[in-house]
Amino acid sequence: MSSKSFLPPKRTLMGPGPSDVSERVLQAMARPTIGHLDPAFVGMMDDMKRLLQYAFQTNNALTMPVSAPGSAGMETCFVNLLEPGDKAIVCQNGVFGGRMKENVERCGATAIMVEDDWGKVVDPNKVEAALKAHPDAKLVAFVHAETSTGAQSDAKTLVELAHKHDCLTIVDAVTSLGGTPVLVDEWGIDAIYSGTQKCLSAPPGLSPVSFSERALDVIKQRKHKVQSWFLDLTLVMGYWGGGAKRAYHHTAPINSLYALHEALLMLEEEGLENAWQRHAQHHQALRAGLEAMGFNFVVAEQDRLPQLNAIYIPDGVDDAAVRSTLLQQHNLEIGAGLGALAGKVWRIGLMGSSCSMWHVEYCLTALDKVLSEMGARIKSGVAVDSAKAAFEQLKKAS
């Protein structure tokens, strides 16, 4: 049997990522490929840096996209800032804090764990206690927006605590960037990484990062080589540094960078504050619809991440069967639970281009239909009207 061109189905992506990618961004990705040292491409790189600085709300000179997904952005932060024998305080309240621990240990450093229940935010009191107990710690690492649960921790407070004890900070903003406030300079974040496939609504495969001057000073004073040649910032910056003259480091994913540039341009055109408000308003509309159906949220209201909604699966409902039916009959993707929440929750994303009233209504309608047909104990026929009413009320108030 011979192969043929792959034609993917048209899905509506409302899981934890990737999110829908607009036609404008897809068209940008299809533009002619040019060389990664072409003067025209170098000009785009400079503008990319400016757009990323806007998204992160920073003036950090070292702000760029790593040529790999968000997990590589995470690794870039850890391998450049940690050396063998260092101590790092790692906050875990879901899956991705656990991945931070893995990175610390693979750097030959020791991870001091601060653990909170899944669905809870990072407790600043526990962090302060760990800092007092380990005055030789080099950094504090935490997830701003925990994608596995939909909890959003208080980044500003956690960074202030770390700096009070002379520690650097590494912040995971994979799900928060572009959807809720991320203020790198105002909060004093030292190293931060994100992904392209969430609220930025670009294709997966790149990881925006930003490093403060304080972090750069630590990198320059390293006693050991960075364990990853590819992610060594002292080498990468020869390519992503400012000006027209660039040193070859690797062949950048040129067309993916076109797409990210266009997505960031769209964010700038909308305005960050408007994007944050859009995610907040549509979250409230979705919440009203889900609660009208009888769903309960995993995360307390004041700690919820608007763009990632984790809800408990009703008793007696087959998790996989519902998600499969949504995908096959409605071309709708929602996310399963991870780790301790596997089989217990669904994760519904409202990210970037997937954050609109059309998406809210489509998701609620499909979920209502599938669950009703399966005999689930929900309140049918009320979700969409509740969502619309909540959204209209918010629009009038804004």
Average pLDDT over residues 104-125: 97
Summarised one tens digit per residue, pLDDT across range 52-86 is 999 999 999 999 999 999 999 999 999 999 999 99
At 238 the pLDDT is: 83
Q: Is the pLDDT of residue 244 over 70?
A: no
Q: Is the pLDDT of residue 213 over 70?
A: yes
Q: Is the pLDDT of residue 335 over 90?
A: yes
Average pLDDT over residues 167-181: 98
Sorted by where each begins, the domain ranges of the chain are 23-269, 272-397
Q: Is the pLDDT of residue 242 over 80?
A: no
Average pLDDT over residues 24-51: 96
Q: Is the pLDDT of residue 243 over 80?
A: no
Considering the chain, what percentage of its residues have pLDDT values greater than 90? 94
Average pLDDT over residues 331-345: 96
Comparing CA positions, the residue from 154, 164, 96 lying closest to residue 128 is: 164
Average pLDDT over residues 164-193: 98
Average pLDDT over residues 291-315: 97
Q: Is the pTM of this model over 0.85?
A: yes
Structural class in CATH, domain 272-397: alpha beta
Domain 23-269 maps to which CATH number in 1.10.3470.10, 3.30.420.40, 3.40.640.10, 3.40.50.261? 3.40.640.10
At 83 the pLDDT is: 98
Average pLDDT over residues 104-121: 97
At 246, is the pLDDT very low, low, confident or very high (cuts 50, 70, 90)? confident
Q: Is the pLDDT of residue 1 over 80?
A: no
Q: Is the pLDDT of residue 245 over 80?
A: no
